[in-house]
Amino acid sequence: MEGFRVLEIKKSVFESNDREADKLREELKKDRTFLLNLMSSPGSGKTTTLKATIAALKDEFKIGVMEADIDSDVDAATIEKTGAKVIQLHTGGMCHLDAGMTKQGLEGLDVNDVDLAILENVGNLVCPAEFDTGAVKNAMILSVPEGDDKPLKYPLMFSICDVLLINKIDVLPYFDFSIENCEKYVKRLNPNIKIIPICARTGEGIDEWADWLRTETKKWIEE
Amino acid sequence: MEGFRVLEIKKSVFESNDREADKLREELKKDRTFLLNLMSSPGSGKTTTLKATIAALKDEFKIGVMEADIDSDVDAATIEKTGAKVIQLHTGGMCHLDAGMTKQGLEGLDVNDVDLAILENVGNLVCPAEFDTGAVKNAMILSVPEGDDKPLKYPLMFSICDVLLINKIDVLPYFDFSIENCEKYVKRLNPNIKIIPICARTGEGIDEWADWLRTETKKWIEE
Kindly indicate the confidence band of residue B176, based on its pLDDT and cuts at 50, 70 and 90.
very high
Taking the alpha carbons at both ends of chain B, their separation in whole angstroms is 37
B43: chain A residues, CB-CB within 8 Å: 41, 143, 145-147, 150
Chain A CB contacts of B125 under 8 Å are 42, 123-124
CB B106 within 8 A of CB B51: no
* Nearest residue to A178 via CA among A144, A138, A212, A206: A144
Q: Is the pLDDT of residue A1 over 70?
A: no
Q: Say how many C-beta atoms besides its own lie within 10 A of residue B17's C-beta.
A: 18
Q: How far is B28 from B51, CA to CA, in rounded Å? A: 23
How many angstroms separate the CA atoms of A223 and B154, rounded? 40
Q: What CA–CA distance (Å, rounded) separates B193 from B27?
A: 26
- The residue among B72, B90, B144, B160 with the most chain A CBs within 10 A of its CB, best to mutate, is B72
| Nearest residue on chain A to B43, alpha-carbon basis | A146
- Per-residue CA distances from B115 to B7, B36, B85, B127, B222 (Å): 21, 11, 11, 27, 10
**pLDDT value for B87:** 95
Contact of A210 with A61, CB cutoff 8 Å: no
Reported confidence tier of residue A70, pLDDT bands at 50, 70, 90:
confident
- At residue B1, the pLDDT reads 44
Distance CA A103, CA A30 (A): 14
pTM to 2 decimal places: 0.93
3-state DSSP percent of chain A in helix, strand and coil, to 5: 45, 20, 35
Q: How confident is the model at residue A177 (pLDDT cuts 50, 70, 90)?
A: very high
- Give helix B17-31 / helix B99-109 axis angle, nearest 10°: 30
User: Would you say residue A110 has pLDDT above 50?
Assistant: yes
Rounded to the nearest 5°, which phi and psi values hold at A63? -110, 140
Give the nearest chain A residue to B201 (CA atoms). Answer: A175
Round to whole Å and give the CA distance between A139 and A161: 5
Which comes out higher in pLDDT, residue B173 or B8? B173
Q: Is the pLDDT of residue A38 over 60?
A: yes
Mean pLDDT of A108-125: 95
Asked whether the predicted pLDDT for residue A203 surpasses 70, the reply is yes
The arithmetic mean of pLDDT across residues A8-33, rounded, is: 91
Q: Measured between CB atoms, which of B154, B155, B156 is closest to A42?
A: B154
pLDDT bin (cut points 50, 70, 90) of residue B11 is confident
Size of interface A-B (CB pairs under 8 A): 114
CB proximity list for A175: less than 8 A, separation 6 or greater: A144, A145, A147, B171
Confidence of residue A3 (pLDDT cuts 50, 70, 90): confident
The predicted model gives B174-197 an average pLDDT of 97
Strand order in the sheet with A5-8: A5-8, A85-90, A63-69, A116-120, A34-40, A137-143, A163-167, A194-197
Model pLDDT for residues B191-215, shown as the tens digit of each residue: 999 999 999 999 999 999 999 999 9
Q: CA-nearest residue of chain A to B93?
A: A126
pLDDT (tens digit, 9 = 90+) per residue, A205-214? 999 999 999 9
